[in-house]
């Protein structure tokens, strides 16, 4: 459908963004299964088709996740240590989650926004505005947060900001400071559950990383793409959907459930 809409000259492919995110999540277990069944040509066809659809679409988060996922898969294959790469990814994501609001306050200044805006699409510029607002709210209640669902309570707050519009250039527009959710799951965890909730999530990431048998060596694309799938999934949390959105959580659960081979975890 994405290809058909593109061929018909649709001005926007935004309606397909959610579907493309689901495909990014499901791509790794699908490719791994095809490789294990000895279907290299079909694997390449599926990978190429999904990649083309994502790149034609308007979801910048899906594009970034796909690129980083491919990089993670390539690294796992090159090092022949997929479990070690997986542990590094899971443990490395912990400081990202912990530092997210403070890093945004420190880095995303108005001057930084003006410098980066010409290189970004409108949706990513809007998200930077959202993240600045959310980071400031997190600083007001950093321990326990504002409570589950609090992100929606801020809906409606608006601000006039200057952004770069395609084909127009700098233009002042009125944007919502927080439309429904922050489009960043670590920020939403901080906003709604505070440091307490973030600590629980980080503990889970540490436990999962510790369970990977890093001593094993394996140069297998089927295993490497699984690592890439984890990288892509974590990447989506940084610029995508709501932390409690049922369809994205179920899609992630389906991706894990489809692939029962795992990474040699104990238990």
* Secondary structure (H, E, C), the chain: CHHHHHHCCCCCCHHHHHHHHHHHHHHHHHHHHHHHCCCHHHHHHHHHHHHHHHHHCCCHHHHHHHHHHHHHHHHHHHHCCHHHHHHHHHHHHHHHHHHHHHHHHHHCCHHHHHHHHHHCCHHHHHHHHHHHHHHHHHHHCCCCCCCCCHHHHCCCCEEEEEEEECCCEEEEEEEECCCCCCCCHHHHHHHHHHHHHHHHHHHHHHHHHHCCCCCCCCCCHHHHHHHHHHHHHHHHCCCCCCCCCHHHHHHHHHHHHHCCCCCCCCC
Res. 62: pLDDT tops 70:
yes
Those residues whose C-beta lies under 8 Å from the C-beta of residue 144, and which sit 6 or more positions away, are 193, 194, 195, 196
Query: pLDDT class for 259, splitting at 50, 70, 90?
Result: low
Res. 264: pLDDT tops 70:
no
Q: What is the torsional sign of CA 131, 136, 142, 145?
A: negative
Query: What percent of the chain shows pLDDT beyond 70?
Result: 89
Please provide the average confidence, as pLDDT, over all residues in the chain: 84
Query: pLDDT class for 41, splitting at 50, 70, 90?
Result: very high
Q: Give the pLDDT confidence of 111-141 residue by residue, as tens digits.
A: 788 888 888 777 788 888 889 889 999 999 9
Give the residue-averaged pLDDT of 14-41: 85
Distances in Å between the alpha carbon of 101 and those of 72, 123, 129?
A: 25, 20, 13
Q: Give the pLDDT confidence of 160-213 residue by residue, as tens digits.
A: 777 877 777 787 777 888 888 888 999 999 999 999 999 999 999 999 999 887
β partners of residue 159: 175
pTM of the model as a whole: 0.83
Give the residue-averaged pLDDT of 63-83: 93
pLDDT value at position 235? 93
- Residue 26 CA to residue 258 CA, distance in Å, equals 9
Q: Up-side HSE of residue 26: CA atoms within 13 Å toward CB?
A: 16
Question: Cα torsion at 231, 131, 53, 258 (round to 10°)?
Answer: 40
Kindly report the backbone phi and psi dihedral angles of residue 243, in degrees, each rounded to the nearest multiple of 5, phi listed first.
-60, -30
pLDDT value at position 10? 55
């Amino acid at each position: 459908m994405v290809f058909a809409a593109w061929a018909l000259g649709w001005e926007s492919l935004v309606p397909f963004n959610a579907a493309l995110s689901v495909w990014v999540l499901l791509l790794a277990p699908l490719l791994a299964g095809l490789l294990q069944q000895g279907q290299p040509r079909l694997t390449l066809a599926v990978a190429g088709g999904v990649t083309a659809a994502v790149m034609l679409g308007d979801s910048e988060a899906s594009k970034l996740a796909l690129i980083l996922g491919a990089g993670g898969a390539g690294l796992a294959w090159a090092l022949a240590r997929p479990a070690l790469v997986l542990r590094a990814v899971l443990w490395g994501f912990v400081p990202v989650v912990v530092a997210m609001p403070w890093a945004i306050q420190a880095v995303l200044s108005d001057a930084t926004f003006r410098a980066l805006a010409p290189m970004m699409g409108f949706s990513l510029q809007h998200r930077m505005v959202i993240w600045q607002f959310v980071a400031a709210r997190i600083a007001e209640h950093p321990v326990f947060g504002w409570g589950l669902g609090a992100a929606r309570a801020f809906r409606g707050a608006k601000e006039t900001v200057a952004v770069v519009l395609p084909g127009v250039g700098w233009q002042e527009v009125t944007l919502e400071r927080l439309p429904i959710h922050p489009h960043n799951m670590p920020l939403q965890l901080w906003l709604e559950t505070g440091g307490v909730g973030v600590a629980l999530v980080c503990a889970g990431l540490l436990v999962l990383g510790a369970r990977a048998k890093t001593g094993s060596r394996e140069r297998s694309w089927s295993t490497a793409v699984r690592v890439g799938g984890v990288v892509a999934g974590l990447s989506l949390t940084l610029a995508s959907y709501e932390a409690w959105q049922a369809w994205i959580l179920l899609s992630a659960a389906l991706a894990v459930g489809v692939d029962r081979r795992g990474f040699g975890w104990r238990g």
